[in-house]
Structure 1
Amino acid sequence: MSDATDRPQRIRVCLETAFAPTRLELIDDSHRHAGHAGAREGGHFILRIAAPAFAGKRPLECHRMIYAALGELMRTDIHALSIELLPPGLDGAD
């Protein structure tokens, strides 16, 4: 497991490399989960993402793509990941 302070950056790099997102917002929500089982083993994150790679795909397929891109981080650094897929037109790209 990596240092908790570099977790968000490592997550961002993986997602940016895999998807070249038009919008990527990653919120570290770990502080709200302190003290519950699993909280020490990994962080809790909220991800809002829009990427051309998700066009025409079902949400479950996109989630699987995200988990695959994060690879080892899902086993070592991320305890919980809430994913919000942003639809085209709401991704901040005009």
Structure 2
Amino acid sequence: MALKKHIIFPKQQQLLQAFGENLKLARKRRKLTMQDVADRSAIDRGTLRQIEKGNPSVSIGAYVNVLRVFGLQEDLLKLAAADELGRKLQDLEIL
């Protein structure tokens, strides 16, 4: 069975690349090698390399494991937390 290729638009790819770069900087600030982070994340170094490039085909679980190594896993709760458009749509239904 062939894997379905995800279509990622350029702007979203830039966001993933920036996220990967942020993770790379977090690793370097902590003076951890790629192998250190890969071992602690239970992934291989090639997967970490893809994460740091912002590869959309890497599972979100692998990204979460890397965030955990840096103590940043709670940052996931900030994603989509505001949802201003959703709240406005919900308010319109109330009226």
The two structures have a TM-score, normalised by structure 1, of: 0.31
More strand by share: 1
Q: Could you say which structure has the higher helix fraction?
A: 2
